[in-house]
Chain A
């Protein structure tokens, strides 16, 4: 066990939280945001589909999928930057202290 500077640990948490909050905000804009202004988007079309319908049927879902993969990839990078070793995580996670 090695002690980590509290500032470093806080920075880790802050980076991850900022990432998550930005992604949630984008997710909210493409779904709730678009629904709120749906009536004004009917004239714009994407692949022959009016924008409000396109966002609900495809745009929002594709954005969600991209956000989830970005989160997984970027979080891995952050872990690496902070010297986290996934194989160590695995052995800690598996030998769970609270496996009844």
Chain B
């Protein structure tokens, strides 16, 4: 056992202890604690929790690498994943909060007055959250595995068991405060190495300001090598693919049930608006730093690794060559490693930085804890979304509406435990690369939830037949396009599988509108409830009139 092992192990163990401790302290006592954290989370903390819930293992480990490898084309991920918060905070979150349900499928079921719609939404939540969680589980496995030098499959199961324990104990209340802690851990771990790297390369502690300098030097290096400039747009796909991907990620972000439900934990529409603003500020800290990581790492690889004699590469490259994340082959046998003879996996960029910049064992340990925090916080939120769908939308609303609070808590807890363990087992042999799976989850959310919620909030005429056919058509078009593009070589304007959401969303919106108009309008009560969402809590829309609750007299009953 070397000292690195002990330090990494200590960091991971300490953070795990913290998460379980928080969950024990915030144990859920009643159903509203379990599903919506008692609806009293302050906006700024909810912003942190949204940040941790949102930023996954893929964001933490893979995003900077994706930007490095794709150059300008990788920025579609950055703008898409942040821009989604505009759609969510402006168009959906406050209104959904006012409607006051526990889950997203429950909103869809009650707004459209349809059990079928609720069940489809519940199943879609489970499928989307499950696919998305596989990446988190295997991501946590890779981190634990690499740092503790054990098989990543053990790592995956350790992560799954940990989530099962702390999520089941605290429910949404425990997860909220765990996510706040996880945000602090992950952002600290993400920022420290990039700040040091910025200091080493540019003598400026602000990577966001300094990496322009590095980009300029890289332009010269690229020109010398005669390879296409790092910043040239649309080298890895068409402009339409860029735009389709960006749209898919935005609409998918606004439609992901595990993110939306975080807005249900605050007290008012105002708090929902502030949550969205804080959330994007906290998320922005990481997303603004990813391109800096990408620039610095590419620069170091170009100047310190490329053009070195193949038997005199820097020390840190060895462990990455061993794991196959860095592939070097002296194809022209001149004893020198050329840039074109290097193949870099995208996880390297962030995880190897502490070693590249020689930041010592504590930063490496912190990095491991940060990557774990990113994977666990997202996985926890996803397990919560799956459990809510199973225990609330399906069990309580459809199977046993008479269940006592105690019974519902126990069903909720067991469904989290089972979902976490099943996801852990599936993640032992994860299908496809992490980013790929995540990108599909976004296309599916963009095509099912986003149109259903958007029209549900903003168009009172939309009805049950419209939403059901819209969700089915949206999902079919998206899945059809993904498979046709991925395996059949069929594309429109060069849009590949990751951009499929743009077609699915359009198809779902059109279907919902056309079918709604062709069938009977929703009941007067529902139409009034939708119009009521235009106003803050204190204002109520009823019988064509708006009332202000000034607390003076008992509100007239409906």
Cβ contact within 8 Å between B291 and A84: no
Q: Are B539 and A84 in contact (CB under 8 A)?
A: yes
Which of B79, B209, B273, B537 is close to A75, meaning CB atoms less than 8 Å apart? B273
- Given contact pairs A35-B246, A39-B233, A4 touches B537 in the complex (Cβ within 8 A): no
Q: Are B547 and A4 in contact (CB under 8 A)?
A: yes
Q: A56 vs B233: C-alpha distance in the bound complex, in angstroms?
A: 11
Q: What are the residues of chain A within 8 A of B274 when measuring CB–CB?
A: 72
B276 within 8 Å of A (CB atoms): yes
Q: How far is the CA of A12 from the CA of B538 in the complex (A)?
A: 13
Interface segment, B277-285, B331-339, B413-421? B277-285
CB of B538 within 8 A of CB of A88, answer yes
Please report the total number of A residues contacting B with Cβ < 8 Å.
61
Cα distance A18–B79 in the bound complex, in angstroms:
24
Whole-angstrom distance from the CB of A2 to the nearest CB of chain B?
Answer: 5
The verdict on B311 contacting chain A, using a C-beta distance below 8 Å, is: no
Question: How far does the alpha carbon of A35 sit from the alpha carbon of B499 in the complex, in Å?
Answer: 15
Q: Does A57 contact B (CB under 8 A)?
A: yes
Tell me, rounded to whole Å, the shortest Cβ–Cβ distance linking B140 to chain A: 27
Q: How far is the CB of A35 from chain B (nearest CB, A)?
A: 6
Q: Within the assembled complex, what's the spacing in Å between the Cα atoms of A13 and B95?
A: 12
Chain B positions 404 through 441: 1 when the CB is less than 8 Å from some CB of chain A, otherwise 0: 00000000000000000000000000000000000000
Contacts of A50 in B (CB 8 A): 231
B21 within 8 A of A: no
**Docked-complex contact B538 and A84, CB < 8 angstroms:** yes
Question: Across the two chains, which residue of chain B brings its CB closest to A46?
Answer: B212
Q: List residues of chain A with CB under 8 Å of any chain B CB.
A: 1-4, 6, 8-9, 12-13, 16, 20, 23-24, 27, 31-32, 35-36, 38-39, 42, 45-50, 52-54, 56-58, 60-62, 64-65, 67-69, 71-72, 75-76, 79, 83-86, 88-90, 92-94, 96-100
Q: Which residues of B contact A (CB under 8 A)?
A: 31-32, 39-40, 67, 72, 75-76, 78-79, 82-83, 85-87, 89-91, 97-98, 100-102, 110, 208-209, 211-213, 215-216, 231-234, 239, 242-243, 246-247, 267-270, 273-274, 276-277, 280-281, 284, 287-288, 291, 396, 534-541, 544-553, 555-556
